[in-house]
Amino acid sequence: MSALLILDASGENESQIKDDKEYCTADDELSVDSEYPEGGRDAVMSVIGAFLSGVIHHGMINLTGAFQAQYTRDELRGMSQSKISWIGTFLSFLYFFAAAPIGRCFDSTGPTVLLTTGSVLVVLGLMMVSLCKEYYQFFLAQGVAIGLGSALVSYPATCCLAHYYDKKRGTMMGVATTGSSIGAVFFPIALNKLIPVVGFPWAVRIVGFICLVLAIPMVLITKARLPRRKFVGWKNIVDFGGLRDIQYVLWTIGAVLSSCLYVPYFYAQTYSERRGYSTNISFYIVAIMNAASFFGRILPGFAADHIGAFNSMAMFNTLGASVLLCWLSVSSPAGLVVWGIAYGFLSGNFISLAPTCLAHLTTDMTKYGGRSGLTYGITSFGVLGSAPIAGAIIDASHGQFEHMIIFAGTGFLGAAMFYTAARFAGNSRLFVKY
């Protein structure tokens, strides 16, 4: 298996930072041009906070499949799969789309209020899901409350981490985003194991209590390093200045096309079931992919610090797209597992490398929230369309998956091409760290 235009005049920046210092603690009164600490207590805490954030928000996103299966069996039995799937699809869309206002608010308010609000929404949304009976109730509780809450938990924590590291940013992002893999594996398995024991309502409530336990230390230890920017109105909610940078535009197009990399996570279980593979293989294939992505977040981040974030992004996405297309040749349960491990590893890079690349594309880090929010906001439309389009292709192919795989693989390969173009737009030399 996932922030935001600000004024650019130097005189305004100086006076703005001076005014903003009244909102900062003494330790936070740093010049925007200060060197990155690359370590220290608050820096380490930011990594741990981002890790806990990843466990929560990616766990919620990856509960979509478990929720859909349960709704189909019981709560919404008789309703079409397509209609039910819009609950999870809207959650994923809102998670990315909300990055724009959240990133701008982060630049002005810091992380605490946003993380607290997000934590409350996630826990409250889960508690409401346990009480829901009607479709619209599930849509509001899961699609809206948990979707928005997951976004509020995710982006501020990632933005804080970017404040503390430059040379080690790739590695630290990689370490922090391993939490996403853990959440993606743990929560779906936990929910499915709890349902037969305590029933669906209490299983969801237990998941909510676990999120609460994780959220409390996350909120307490996550702090921003840079002074806050004054809020200058919603018209400046995103940093459209990035659209004047061809490298940023190319990279953002790549991010939109990267939505295709998530398609296998939506349909791998259905693929396995329709092939007649064992129940264990079908149930655990997505968990296997997410477990492999744990290492697929660390290694690309480590590589980014040594060969450059853009080189790593281009390389790992090209390899990932190639492996996705290799899905066409899978013909056995063992082959599916091997493919799932390889694809999970190579597709995990986006979560750790995307914030690193966006930080390199942002010269003024007090604008990082606004700049990254624009990217994720645009990407949300790719997320909204990729899975439903893939599903429509499967239906049009009478339940066959070959054309869907070609669609997803081609889109992912297109993303790799735009990442490569963005890399050379920034530095045309071939053998150089970038």
Q: Where are the beta strands (DSSP E) in 210-341?
A: none
DSSP string over 203-218: HHHHHHHHHHHHHHHH
Number of domains in the chain: 1
Helix (H, G, I), strand (E, B) or coil at 363: coil
| Residue-level pLDDT at 225 | 72
Stretch 239-259: mean pLDDT:
85
Range of weakest confidence among 28-32, 215-219, 420-424: 28-32
Q: Is residue 1 part of a domain?
A: no
Whether residue 418 is contained in a domain is answered as yes
Q: Let me know if residue 165 belongs to a domain.
A: yes
Q: Which residue has the tokens 């400046």?
A: 236
| Distance, CA of 40 to CA of 35 (rounded, Å) | 13
125-146 tens-digit pLDDT: 999 999 999 999 999 999 999 9
pTM tops 0.85, yes or no: no
Determine, yes or no, domain membership for 229: yes
The amino acid occupying position 315 is M
Give the CATH number of the domain where residue 165 resides: 1.20.1250.20
Q: What distance in Å separates the CA atoms of residue 13 and residue 36, rounded to the nearest whole number?
A: 19
Q: Encoding tokens for residue 123? A: 């826990």
User: Domain span at residue 384?
Assistant: 10-426
DSSP letter assigned to residue 414:
H
Domain assignment present for 4:
no
Nearest to 413 by CA among 324, 343, 346, 304: 324
* Structure token digits, residue 74: 């019981």
Contact yes or no for 147/410 (Cβ under 8 A):
no
Helix, strand, coil % over all residues of the chain, rounded to 5:
80, 0, 20
CB 346 within 8 A of CB 323: yes
Query: 10: how many CB neighbours lie within 10 A of its CB?
Result: 8
Token pair, residue 52, equals: 């806990």
Span 247-265, average pLDDT: 90
Q: Could you give the CA distance from residue 285 to residue 267 in angstroms, rounded to a whole number?
A: 10
Establish if 125 belongs to a structural domain.
yes
Q: Within 13 Å and on the Cβ side, how many CA atoms surround 349?
A: 31
Cβ–Cβ under 8 Å, residues 259 and 411: yes
| 162-202 pLDDT, tens digit each | 777 777 777 777 788 788 888 988 998 898 889 989 999 99
Q: Which of 209-218, 272-281, 336-345 has the lowest mean pLDDT?
A: 272-281
pLDDT of residue 28: 42
Q: What is the DSSP track for 40-67?
A: SHHHHHHHHHHHHHHHHHHHHHHTHHHH
What would the two tokens of residue 370 be? 């606004």
Could you tell me if residue 409 is inside a domain? Answer: yes
Show the tokens assigned to 391.
């599903």
At residue 20, does pLDDT exceed 50? no
At residue 103's C-alpha, the angle toward residues 100 and 108, to 5°, is: 130
- Evaluate whether 61 touches 150 at the Cβ level (below 8 Å): yes
- Does some domain include residue 145? yes
